[in-house]
Amino acid sequence: MSRVNRPVSTRQAWWLLAGALAAALPLVQQVPVWLAAAAAAAFAWRAALTWRQWHLPPRWLLVLLVIAGTAGVVMQYRSIVGRTPGIALLVVFLALKLLELRAARDAIVTALLCYFLVLGQFLFTQTIPTALLSCLTVLITTATMLAASDDRPAPLLQLRRAALMLAQAMPFMLLLFILFPRVQGPLWGLPQDRYTATSGISETMSPGSIAQLSQSDAIAFRVQFAGQVPPQSQLYWRGPVMPAFDGRTWSIRQILAAYSELPYAVQGEPIDYDLTLEPNGKFWLFALEMPGSLPPDGALTSDYQPISRQIVRNRLRYTQRAYPASQAGIDESRAMLRESLALPSGGNPRTRALGAEWRNRHGDDGAAILATAQDFFNRQLLIYTLNPPLLGPDMVDEFLFESKRGFCEHFAAAFVYALRAAGVPARVVAGYQGGEVNPVDGYLEVRQYDAHAWTEAWIAGRGWVRIDPTAISAPSRINSNLAAAVPAGEALPFLARTDLAWVRELRYRLDAVTNGWNQWVLGYNPQKQRDFLSSLGFGEPDWRSMTAALAVLCGFVLLGLTAWVLRNRRRTDPAFAAWRRFTGRLAARGTVWRNWEGPLAFAERAAAASPAHATAIRDIAALYARLRYAPAPRREDLERLRRQVADFRP
């Protein structure tokens, strides 16, 4: 019987079931409930077949199950092409393959399916826990492959052998990762058929929208400054600009054109930094005001909103230079100014009257109206809160004159409305404000609870001027953080709390590790590879030099591993080596030695199976036992054992 047609033993079946479970369990949350339940039923069925030693199901039944599973995937996703339907189909095949484990080649196919599903985990998430779980799955699957060849070693010994093999492969993996020419794009790039929901600032803003976002402590982006971190009050990360207002919701304007070059002259001292943006499912990017450069494949809208030409679905890193002192929009178009003056036909009569009074007092002097508006907000004693009350149709009037409680979107919306009522062009800008420096790695971490909204007003001769009405009533929000600004007793995001020092220290370290993983593993792109290799003295590496270096270094690693194997082989007990040759010859005739079995007991069993060679078998076993267990074995016994094993030809 050939090796590939050898029947699958009970121990091998248990190993294959363990490998399949390890590969499929991490993907349970990515497949529909019915498929997860069906796969679990197939695994339980396979376990029962192995435990009870029942016959495998007939092939016609398996064919029907394959057809049913494939049809279910097609009905669920309307396709079998793509990330999620492809993985679902592989789970179906793996679960059903366990039910037809008859020969060794079935075991090998099952193990290879497990390896492929390990790769499938990275198509959904590439976090450190995913990587660690994948390493465990690969270890179990490799032990399964070893068991498919030889199931005699105990489970712990199989796992140890698998771990040793993977450790030997580790240097090659590192060399391939560092030197293999990279392609542009994410580490696990794939045309995605379904995108998971991403949190972040949206294209609209209504009362309470940013307040809800402030309850999330998810990372929005990380920043590494080339020099000293600017003061908290200067960290305005510009995002979507919202000039359109329908009476309740502010929204972005339609992007008709975008600048490939800066539409304003930069002024003042620059601020250089690298920003690593988490996926947000939108086109826009975030940058300090005002950007002095554009990211690769990026542009700037007519209202100076940095955007990407493609939706940000993967982590994106770009280098920026900001000029906070720059003036933009001094020669703004009439259409843009008209859009920034538009108000709904009715509503908020008290704020309209207030704006008209400012207009009558100061005429066309936008700077004077702006100063008056700031003074008015300061005198209103507005309260910054994460739990603003619900507002009716005249929400600006209710906020300014009745409840006087709101979050940043209430302040920004009311300020813009009042300025427009006074004839001053104004608009809402959404983004993030501030951030927190991680003392472990020095990166500034900007989280979703740092989401913020502020105001821009157009003043003749100055262009667009940033005014943050939140800073007028709650300056601690801008100068410090969210926790310092809200009233005592209000619920804060867990990571924004300042009363749990040990949690903050733990968070700093975990975030630093995660950031290092993102920057040096997931973010190891062609540019970072060139920079790293240049720092090692490769000059300007190209694919030819990297391939040559990869071949040479892999050759050295292979030589080192070969020397290590030969050194360990010389240490092998010569008596045991002769015994293994002897038992191997008997195994070829169907009598397999088990590593827990004593030599004399095995000799009796082998002699009974091969009576014609009983004397030779017993003599060899006795010699081996004397060499292994005698207090002072004789060297001539070893030579005699070698001769008898060499002459033994069953």
End-to-end Cα spacing for the chain: 18
| 17-41: burial string, b at 16+ Cβ within 10 Å, e else | bbbbbbbbbbbeebbeeebbebbee
* Amino acid type, 5: N
How many whole angstroms separate alpha carbon 168 and alpha carbon 163?
Answer: 9
Locate 638 and state its tokens.
């070893």
Report the side by side order of strands in the sheet with 219-225. 316-322, 271-277, 219-225, 444-447, 436-437
Q: How many CA atoms lie within 13 A of 301 on its CB side?
A: 22
Query: Peptide bond before 290: cis, by omega within 30 degrees of 0?
Result: yes
Largest distance between two CA atoms of the chain: 121
Locate 337 and state its tokens.
């100014």
Asked if residues 116 and 22 have their Cβ atoms less than 8 Å apart, the reply is no
SS3 226: coil
How many whole angstroms separate alpha carbon 351 and alpha carbon 41?
Answer: 65
| SS3 per residue for 452-468 | EEEEEEEECCCEEEEEC
How many whole angstroms separate alpha carbon 17 and alpha carbon 110?
Answer: 9
Q: In this structure, what DSSP letter does residue 637 have? A: H
**259: enclosing H helix or E strand:** strand 258-259
CA dist list (Å): 131 to 138, 219, 555: 10, 20, 27
Give the residue numbers annotated as catalytic, written as ranges.
408, 452, 468
How many whole angstroms separate alpha carbon 624 and alpha carbon 574?
Answer: 10
CB atoms under 10 Å from CB of 531, counted, come to: 10
Contacts for 97 with CB less than 8 Å, ≥ 6 apart:
106, 109, 110, 113
How many whole angstroms separate alpha carbon 109 and alpha carbon 421?
Answer: 72
Locate 310 and state its tokens.
């493609």
How many whole angstroms separate alpha carbon 287 and alpha carbon 58?
Answer: 63
